[in-house]
Amino acid sequence: MGESFLSIDLGGTYTKYGLIDQEGNVSKTHRIITPKDLSGLLEEVNLMISEYPNSKGIAISAPGAVSHSGVIHGTSAIPYIHGPNIKALIEQSTGKMVSIENDANCAALAESWKGNAQKVQNAIVIVVGTGIGGAFIHQGVVQRGKHLHAGEFGYMLIKHEEQWSSWSELAATSSLRKEVARQKSIPYESIFTGEQIFEMASNGDPECIRAIKQFFYYLAVGIYNIQHMYDPDIILFGGGISAREGFITEIYREYEALTENMHFETIRPKLDTCSFKQHANLVGAVKHFLQSEGN
Q: Write down all domains in the chain, each with its CATH number in brackets.
A: 4-107+279-292 (3.30.420.40), 118-274 (3.30.420.40)
More confident residue, 127 or 6: 6
What's the confidence (pLDDT) of residue 8?
98
What's the confidence (pLDDT) of residue 195?
86
Is pLDDT of 1 > 60? no
Is pLDDT of 241 > 70? yes
Is 146 within 8 Å of 157 (Cβ atoms)? no
Flag whether the pTM goes above 0.75.
yes
- What would the mean pLDDT of 1-27 be, rounded to a whole number? 92
Is pLDDT of 75 > 90? no
Strand partners, 163: 160
Sequence-separated (6 or more) residues with CB below 8 Å from residue 79: none
* Residue 212: pLDDT band with limits 50, 70, 90: very high
Strand partners, 65: 73
| Closest listed residue to residue 240, CA positions, set 59, 77, 99, 107 | 107
* Residue 92: pLDDT band with limits 50, 70, 90: very high
